[in-house]
Structure formats: C-alpha cells, structure tokens
Amino acid sequence: MQTIQTVAPATPIVTLEEAKLFAIIDIDDDDTIIQTMIDTASNYVEQYTNRQMINATFELINDSFIQDMVIPKGKIQSIVSVEYMDENEVYQTLPTTEYYLYGEYDRYKIHFNDIPSHKEDMRAVKITFIAGYGTVDDVPAGIKSYIKIKVKDLYEYRDLIEDFNKFVMPKSHIDCLLNMYRIQPI
C-alpha cells in the first residue's frame, strides 16, 4: 500500500509571522531558516499523528481490494474516486453505490459491496481522497501551539543543528500535546 499526496494544502498550519511572534523574533534575517523549522515541525506533526492538518488530496495505491480497507490518513473529508485496473490495464471507476466510507475509532475505512475482478498488478487499485481538518481555522489549537513551541526551541538551538531538512525531532515533554490527536499506525 502506498499513499501519495497529489495536491498539497493551500495554506501552512502556522505562518512565518505567527511563529516569529510566538518566539519573539523581530528580525527578518532568519526568515528562510525559520520557515524551514516550521515545515520540519509541521511534517513531524502530520507523521506522528497520522493525520493531515490542512485539506490535501491523496492517492492510495494497492495491489488489490481489501474489504474494509483502512485509509492511512486521518480526518477523511471525502472519497473522490475508486479506480481499478481491468485485465486490459485500463482503469475503471467503481460507482459510488458500490462502496461507502465510515469511521471507527478515528480510523477511516472503505467498505466495498462487491469487489470487482481486476488485474494482478502493484497498481491495481487507486483510491483518490481528500484528507484534513479543513482550513487552518479548523486545526486544533494544541497542534498549532506544539508547532510554535517546537519552532521556538529549534530556533534557540539552531547553532547545534546542521540541516533542518534532515533534522529528526527529539521527543520532549511537550509531545504530550500531540498524543490526544495521534492515530496509532496500522
């Protein structure tokens, strides 16, 4: 199973201005590095919680249909389409009457009424869906606070970190802010 983001969120979870205001940074010289810190903290939040914060579009690709297939991202807004590869390697769209989405303990699943025959291929099933809380205003305050705190910490210790794009977020006492939003991995 592979999940690929095909349309990125339209806005960041926390803006540069919000992060600088929280961290009490009043110079513009480090804006590029602060933006990288925001991106690093935001990516960590989404990976750790298994949730998409701001709406984005994804494709889930699998080698077959699985009854009650788990969608590996949280807060599913909608299923755009379910496609399967026929024996001629042409994608066919499954009618919306043949499946439905339901949530169970913060995990979203697709139930298929009838599973169509499809080609044996690593890309046999393609599900396009939109995930996210919605807009930046819908993202829980605890998540936004976590990102701001992490950016402030990263900025204070920036001389000790060589490359923020490859930086792995260390666990700290504020990680408990994220625990209530975490969907356990499959």
* Residue 26 and residue 70 in one domain: no
* Residue 120 and residue 60 in one domain: yes
* Residue 71 and residue 104 in one domain: yes
* Residue 48 and residue 64 in one domain: no
Backbone dihedral angles phi then psi of residue 155, each to the nearest 5 degrees: -65, -40
What are the residue ranges of helices labelled H in 24-172?
A: 31-49, 141-156
At 180, is the pLDDT very low, low, confident or very high (cuts 50, 70, 90)? confident
| pLDDT, tens digit, 9 for 90 and up, residues 4-56 | 899 999 999 999 999 999 999 888 888 998 999 999 899 999 988 889 999 99
Domain range spanning residue 106? 56-131
Question: Which pLDDT belongs to residue 174?
Answer: 73
* Residue 49 and residue 109 in one domain: no
**Longest Cα pair distance anywhere in the chain, in angstroms?**
61
* Residue 71 and residue 89 in one domain: yes
Q: Exposure pattern of 76-90 as b/e (b: 16+ CB <10 Å)?
A: bbebeebbbbeeeee
The pTM score is 0.82
- Out of 114, 131, 148, pick the residue that ends a domain: 131
